[in-house]
C-alpha cells in the first residue's frame, strides 16, 4: 500500500468520523475532526473560526433545530495537494427521519484537510446550496464550446 493510498484512506476515515459524530448529535466529537484554528462556513454564509466556535454552534444546533438529523454525504473528489494537505469535494444533505437527499436539499461542499502530529484534521469547510438547474445549464453551455 502506498503512502498516498494510506493518506486518502485516513482522510476518508476523518470524513466518516465527522459524519458519525453529526448523526450522534455529538458536537464535541464533530468539532474534534477540525483543527484548533479551522474555518467553517455554512451554506447560508455564517462563518465560524476555531474548533471551540464550531463545537459551541453545533451543540446549540444539535440540541434544537438539527436534533436527530444525519448527514447524507458523498465524496466526489479527493486530491492530495501536498503530502500534508488534501482537498475533499463532495455533495450531501442534512436529513431527518426517513427523508432522502434530492436536488432541492443538496449542498456542495469543500473540506481542506491537513496532517498534524495527531493525524489528519479539517482546517477549512465551506458549503453552498447546489443549484441543479444552473449546474445543468452551465454544463450544456460548456459542451457547446
Note the pLDDT tens digit of each residue in 30-45.
Answer: 999 999 999 999 888 8
Domain that holds residue 92: 3-143
Higher pLDDT, 122 or 45: 122
* Domain CATH code at residue 87: 3.10.450.50
- How crowded is residue 48: how many other Cβ atoms within 10 Å of its Cβ? 20
At residue 129, the pLDDT reads 80
The larger pLDDT score, comparing residue 80 to residue 128, is at 80
Q: Is the pLDDT of residue 28 over 80?
A: yes
pLDDT of res. 143: 77
Alpha carbon 58 to its chain centroid, in Å, reads 14
Mean of all residue pLDDT scores within the chain = 92
Q: Which residues contact 86 (CB under 8 A, 6 or more apart)?
A: 7, 8, 11, 78, 79, 80, 112, 113, 114, 120
Kindly state the percentage of the chain with pLDDT values over 70. Answer: 94
Q: How many domains are contained in the chain?
A: 1
Residue 39 region by backbone torsions, left for phi larger than 0, else alpha for psi between -120 and 50, else beta: beta
Residue 64, SS3?
coil
Smallest CA-to-CA distance from 92 within 74, 65, 110, 68 is with 74
Using the structure block, give the residue that is written with the C-alpha cell 437527499.
Answer: 101
What are the backbone angles phi and psi of residue 7, rounded to the nearest 5°? -65, -40
The confidence score (pLDDT) of residue 145 equals 60
> How much is the pTM?
0.88
Mean pLDDT (whole number) for 92-117: 94
Mean pLDDT over 105-130 rounds to 93
Least confident of 47-51, 92-96, 127-131, 140-144: 140-144
Confidence of residue 104 (pLDDT cuts 50, 70, 90): confident
Q: Which of 73, 75, 92, 76 is nearest to 130 (CA)?
A: 92
Amino acid at each position: 500500500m502506498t503512502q498516498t493510498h494510506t493518506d486518502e484512506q485516513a482522510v476518508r476515515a476523518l470524513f466518516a468520523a465527522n459524519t458519525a459524530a453529526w448523526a450522534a448529535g455529538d458536537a464535541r466529537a464533530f468539532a474534534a475532526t477540525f483543527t484548533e484554528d479551522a474555518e467553517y462556513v455554512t451554506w447560508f454564509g455564517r462563518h465560524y473560526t476555531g474548533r471551540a466556535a464550531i463545537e459551541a454552534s453545533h451543540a446549540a444546533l444539535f440540541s434544537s433545530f438539527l436534533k436527530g438529523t444525519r448527514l447524507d454525504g458523498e465524496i466526489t473528489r479527493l486530491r492530495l495537494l501536498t503530502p500534508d494537505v488534501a482537498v475533499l469535494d463532495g455533495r450531501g444533505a442534512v436529513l431527518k427521519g426517513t427523508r432522502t437527499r434530492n436536488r432541492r436539499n443538496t449542498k456542495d461542499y469543500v473540506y481542506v484537510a491537513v496532517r498534524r502530529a495527531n493525524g489528519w484534521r479539517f482546517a477549512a469547510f465551506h458549503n453552498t446550496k447546489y443549484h441543479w438547474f444552473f449546474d445543468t445549464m452551465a454544463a450544456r453551455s460548456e459542451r457547446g464550446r
